[in-house]
A = this chain, B = another copy of it.
Amino acid sequence: MNSPHFSTKERILGAAEELFARHGFAGASLRELTATAKVNLAAVNYHFGSKDNLVNEVFRRRLDELSAHRLDALQQVLAKPQPTLEDILSAFIHPALLLSLDKSGGATFVRVLARAYAEHNERLRKFLSENYGHVLKEFAAAFSIQLPHLDKEELYWRIDIIAGALTYAMADFGVIKRRAAMSEKIHRERAAEHLIRFAAAGLRAD
């Protein structure tokens, strides 16, 4: 990720993704980050303005595409005659599954996503809400039709918890490396199916 044929900005983004996944946002220092990226310490502030904004850009680089995939999948699901809760959840999870299987940092980014859920950083939540809140809003609306017995507050609470647990479960925080990439893909796909069923049960509960 710090190969010389990447630009300074790209090397910083790559190192940031890696170190944010490993140490969290506050835990990753700009000194270790810039050393990993093989750039000068001041390069982060020069190219991104601040560490906070670097965090934003790490998310933007991946979330624009992930959100688009999720909304596409949701639109296809809602076009069906009788969409199920599992269909909607699949539209939410499957794009993240694809991202986690991506070879160039996608899996690392899913771990960063899980960090974002765990660290209840107010500033970051505001950024994500302002830029990608409409995605969760559309999914919440789709869920709401399937779950008329839940009021808005209760639904949002459940989506928040479930989305966090789903993301965490997909994030693969374990220390042990898996053996074969092929077996990993199969495992993740099956895990995603189980996650969908678990989340559907959690949403359907009275």
- Identify the A interface with B (CB < 8 A): 22-24, 26-27, 114-115, 117-120, 153, 156-157, 160-162, 164-166, 168-169, 172-176, 178, 187, 190-191, 194-195, 197-198, 201-202, 205-206
Is B205 a contact partner of A173 (Cβ separation < 8 A)?
no
Write out the residue numbers on chain B whose beta carbons fall within 8 Å of the beta carbon of A119.
Answer: 24, 27, 118
Is B174 a contact partner of A157 (Cβ separation < 8 A)?
yes
- How far, in whole Å, are A120 and B118 apart by their CA atoms in the complex? 12
- How far, in whole Å, are A81 and B156 apart by their CA atoms in the complex? 43
- How far, in whole Å, are A194 and B173 apart by their CA atoms in the complex? 22
- How far, in whole Å, are A24 and B26 apart by their CA atoms in the complex? 10
Q: Which residue of B lies closest to A160 (CB)?
A: B174
Prevailing SS type, chain A contact patch: helix
Write out the residue numbers on chain B whose beta carbons fall within 8 Å of the beta carbon of A162.
Answer: 169
Write out the residue numbers on chain B whose beta carbons fall within 8 Å of the beta carbon of A201.
Answer: 194, 197-198
**Residue from the list B115, B176, B187, B202 in contact with A118, Cβ < 8 A:** B115
Excluding A117-B173, A168-B168, 16 further A-B contacts by CB distance (< 8 Å) are: A26-B27, A27-B119, A114-B118, A115-B118, A118-B168, A153-B176, A157-B178, A160-B173, A160-B175, A161-B174, A164-B169, A164-B173, A165-B165, A191-B202, A191-B205, A197-B198
**Residue from the list B114, B169, B205 in contact with A190, Cβ < 8 A:** B205
- How far, in whole Å, are A24 and B195 apart by their CA atoms in the complex? 26
Rounded to whole Å, the gap between the CB of A140 and the closest CB of chain B is 13
- How far, in whole Å, are A169 and B194 apart by their CA atoms in the complex? 15
